[in-house]
């Protein structure tokens, strides 16, 4: 086993998260609230379960110790975790916590919370998993899993990273690293010194709170996460500011879990704390830039020709997690010809996977007229998937592919060279997460319109009837 594969045990409160994603382009006539339409529902592991999945995506064995019950949400979460992480359960009293976000693009409009279950007691299997761990991440969401295993966590020989929550208890003494957000650090520090509320975004406040918590928690280090500003690492004296490598726009949900999971894995591998925190800041920045928690989401609805393919999203997420380059290309691909194939082959050579974004039948009809498409979307998708250079296909129903690009967040968006004299409408979107638009040459004389015209003008045989 290599150092990068040190097993990690994640202890904490798992949740089930749902997103209802759509477009908000107007207000309701009866109230000043947005109308969200075209919604798609997806589900994903949340809380400690999200942290465990993100740690596993780094390529290491991960075991999640969490409280699950006999309710429907627990059953759904078990299905989502199958094949991703090992699972050791402790009894849950009540129903599993779940939250549903209503989203307009990347912007949350509303959150609905359900379930108030708490861990009831430890189990021998859970205690044994903590004792045998090569590294431990405590993802505490204040629902009791860390509490019932507190004695085991206090006595493990493995390095412990503790991601605290204001609803939970402080970390056990001696943790290698605690990772509160600025707001959480301020709340914990105020309980200790009864200080007045301060500016949680201020570096001075964060430094003072980190110093207070290092001493009060007897932690070896505290890293206060500061969102887009990075993290502030303190061993109790002069702090170290670790800035983000670049500005990242997107949904930040789960960025703290990504930070803590990366830091815990690296510390388990023997990395020094400063280097682990710097790498964790970079990992969290990439996570936000590449789509955030959507990378581990699974669509609840059956896939249709007008929905982004769940396979395409999973393919892109898998390649990103392995450090590869995701390439996407788009078009109608009606009557697939040699020019299309040459373009797709060139696009595939630019990265480690190629996702093809295909206009739906309605989208083609709006762009090309009532006579198109000549080939329905299901057949076009089947032909594209048969090409060796194509790793996944997704269909979009809009006139432009911005929405599906936001789902995939490719590193490269490849288009034919006939766009060289114009700026693509989706170019600002691709560049917003650090992606690049790449133009590739077309083969001369190849086009679907030309093929269709020549087929319609086929000569009539001598008998007077077309063949």
Is 269 one of the catalytic residues? no
Q: Are 146 and 168 in contact (CB under 8 A)?
A: yes
**3-state SS, one letter per residue, for the chain:** CCHHHCCEEEEECEEEEEEEEEEEEEECCCCCCEEEEEEEEEEEEEEHHHHHHHHHHCCCCEEEEEEECCCHHHHHHHHHHCCCCEEEEEEEECCCCEEEEEEECCEEEEEEEECCCEECCCCHHHHHHHHCCCCEEEECCCCCHHHHCHHHHHHCCCCEEEECCCCCCCCCCCCCEECCEHHHHHHHHHHHHCCCCCCCCCHHHHHHHHHHHHHHHCCCCEEEECHHHCEEEECCCCCEEECCCCCCCCCCCCHHHHHHHHHHHHHHCCCCHHHHHHHHHHHHHHHHHCCHHHHHCEECCCCCCCCCCHHHHHHHHHHHHCCCCEEEEEECCCCCCHHHHHHHHHHHHCCCEEEEEEECHHHHHHHHCCCCCCCCHHHHHHHHHCCCCCCEEEEECCCCCHHHHHHHCCCEEEEEHHHCCCCCCCHHHHHHCCCEEEEECCCCCCCHHHHHHHHHCCCCCCCCCCC
Q: How far apart are CA 455 and CA 444, in angstroms?
A: 19
Catalytic-role residue among 257, 269, 334, 391: 257
261 contacts: CB under 8 Å, gap ≥ 6: 10, 51, 52, 54, 55, 58, 137, 283
**Sheet containing 98-104: which strands, arranged edge to edge?**
107-114, 98-104, 14-27, 34-47, 298-299
Q: Could you tell me the sign of the dihedral formed by the alpha carbons of 171, 174, 176, 180, in that order?
A: positive
Question: Other C-beta atoms within 10 Å of 362: how many?
Answer: 15
Catalytic residue numbers, as ranges: 257
């Amino acid at each position: 086993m290599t150092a990068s594969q040190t097993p990690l045990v994640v202890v904490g409160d798992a949740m089930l998260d749902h997103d209802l994603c759509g477009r908000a382009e107007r207000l309701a006539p009866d109230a000043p609230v947005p109308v969200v339409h075209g919604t798609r529902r997806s589900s994903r592991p949340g809380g400690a379960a999200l942290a465990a999945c993100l740690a596993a995506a780094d390529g290491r064995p991960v075991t999640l110790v969490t409280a699950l019950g006999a309710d429907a949400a627990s059953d759904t979460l078990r299905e989502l975790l199958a094949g991703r992480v090992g699972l050791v359960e402790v009894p849950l009293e009540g129903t599993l916590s779940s939250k549903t976000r209503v989203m307009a693009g990347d912007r949350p409009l509303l959150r609905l919370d359900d379930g108030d279950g708490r861990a009831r007691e430890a189990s021998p299997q859970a205690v044994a998993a903590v004792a045998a761990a090569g590294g431990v991440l405590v993802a505490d969401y204040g629902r009791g899993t860390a509490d019932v295993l507190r004695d085991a966590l206090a006595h493990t020989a493995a390095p412990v990273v503790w991601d605290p929550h204001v609803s939970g208890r402080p970390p056990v003494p001696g943790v290698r690293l605690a990772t509160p957000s600025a707001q959480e650090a301020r709340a914990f520090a105020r309980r200790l010194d009864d200080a007045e509320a301060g500016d949680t975004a201020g570096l001075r406040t964060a430094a003072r709170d980190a110093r207070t918590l290092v001493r009060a928690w007897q932690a070896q280090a505290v890293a206060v996460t500061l969102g887009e500003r990075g993290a502030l690492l303190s061993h109790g004296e002069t702090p170290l500011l670790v800035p983000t490598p670049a500005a990242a726009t997107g949904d930040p949900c789960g960025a703290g879990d990504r930070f803590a999971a990366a830091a815990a894995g690296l510390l388990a591998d023997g990395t020094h704390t400063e280097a682990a925190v710097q790498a964790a800041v970079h990992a969290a920045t990439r996570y936000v830039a590449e789509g955030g928690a959507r990378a581990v989401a699974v669509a609840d609805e059956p896939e249709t020709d007008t929905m982004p393919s769940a396979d395409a999203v999973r393919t892109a997420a898998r390649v990103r997690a392995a450090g590869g380059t995701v390439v996407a290309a788009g078009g109608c691909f009606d009557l697939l010809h040699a020019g299309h194939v040459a373009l797709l082959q060139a696009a595939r050579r630019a990265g480690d996977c190629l996702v093809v974004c295909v206009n739906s039948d309605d989208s083609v009809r709006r762009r090309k007229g009532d006579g198109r498409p000549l080939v329905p979307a299901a057949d076009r998708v089947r032909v594209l998937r048969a090409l060796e250079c194509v790793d996944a296909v997704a269909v979009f129903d809009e006139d432009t592919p911005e929405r599906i690009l936001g789902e995939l967040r490719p590193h490269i968006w490849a288009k034919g060279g006939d766009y060289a004299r114009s700026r693509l409408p989706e170019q600002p979107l691709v560049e917003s997460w650090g992606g690049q638009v790449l133009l590739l040459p077309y083969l001369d004389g190849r086009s679907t319109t030309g093929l269709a015209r020549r087929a319609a003008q086929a000569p009539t045989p001598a008998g007077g009837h077309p063949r």
